[in-house]
Amino acid sequence: MNKSSKIYIAGHKGMVGSAILRKLEKKGFNNFILKTSKELDLRNQAAVQAFFEQERPDYVFLAAAKVGGIVANNTYRADFIYENMAIQNNVIHASYLNGVKKLMFLGSSCIYPKLAPQPLKEEYLLTGLLEPTNEPYAIAKIAGIKMCEAYGSQYGCDFISVMPTNLYGPNDNYDLQNSHVLPALIRKFHEAKENSKAEVVLWGSGSPLREFLHADDMADACVFLMENYSGSEFLNIGTGHDISIKDLAELVKKTVGFVGEIVWDHTKPDGTPRKLMDVSKLKSLGWAYKIDLEEGISLAYADFLKNYDLLRK
């Protein structure tokens, strides 16, 4: 990519898309095509094709998706597979038809089998059954990876795929009903502190291990790979380190300044015992994360406080 390249970021309002936009702006890129979901419905094939014919982007970051937590994934199973497949099919195919130089498709770590060995290596894809609660979403993301591979082998398209670990950071979702664990903890501890509560009740035992990557590091990796990688294989993006939910809760509690107790509700499920990415392929290309978890949580909490009044409306 050069500084005048025409770059389309699909999903630029989301956590990952906005981080990619910030990263590119910092590097001096300025020729962006940005459309909100209201301005361009990526599920609409004719609208997407007309957009690509008119704009002719050189590079595409496909960060747009219908996303949610376990409850949303399990409740709206048809919506998750249909909408994500439609978005991917339309953007990837239109990119091929309109001569896009390079496309990056962003997937999710839920593509891996539920009982895959840890840490998760790229070659474990399609070696076992998926986690049932988010299977439709995972199947859509697997289809996106395979679509990029197929367009590369049949048409010679430079379409690459990346699989991020659990992400957090600016523009995260803090809704307690469908957010992921880290933003949910930030909001729970903050509101408990605000309301002088004596305790915060959290699900399960706190024993599961999870990996977390700041969105700005994710964006840094995406831009690095867009400029330095053109292989047919997808790549994991993560830190290569995990932390127990119990230790994570203590870290968030300390960052927020909550002084009460943490109570673990053992009647609630723990979920998958461990979910850690193998990032040796990414490291071998020369990329490594920069923002450690404690610093990242402090940054995320500052962003949460800045936007908290909007969250309550």
Known binding residues for substrate:
188, 203, 210, 270
Q: Is 198 exposed, middle or buried, given 0-12, 13-18 or 19+ CB atoms closer than 10 A?
A: exposed
Pairing between strand 209-210 and 243-244? antiparallel
Is residue 185 within 8 Å of residue 78, measured between CB atoms?
no
Q: Which 3 state secondary structure label does DSSP give 84? A: helix
Q: Looking at 137, 174, 229, 301, which residue is catalytic? A: 137
Q: Write the Ramachandran bin of 252: left for phi over 0, alpha for psi from -120 to 50, otherwise beta.
A: alpha
Annotated binding site: 11-17, 106-109, 141, 164-167, 180, 188, 203, 210, 270
DSSP 248-298: HHHHHHHHHT--SEEEEETTS----SEE-B--HHHHHTT------HHHHHH
CA angle centred on 60, ends 283 and 152, rounded to 5°: 70
Residue 227 has phi, psi (to 5 degrees) of -90, -15
Residues 6+ apart with CB under 8 A from 53: 98
* 82 included as an active-site residue: no
Residue ranges of the annotated binding site for NADP(+) are 11-17, 106-109, 141, 164-167, 180
Q: Taking the alpha carbons of 131, 245, 12, 229 in that order, is the dihedral positive or negative?
A: negative
125 membership: H or E segment, kind and range: none
Question: Annotated active-site positions, please?
Answer: 137
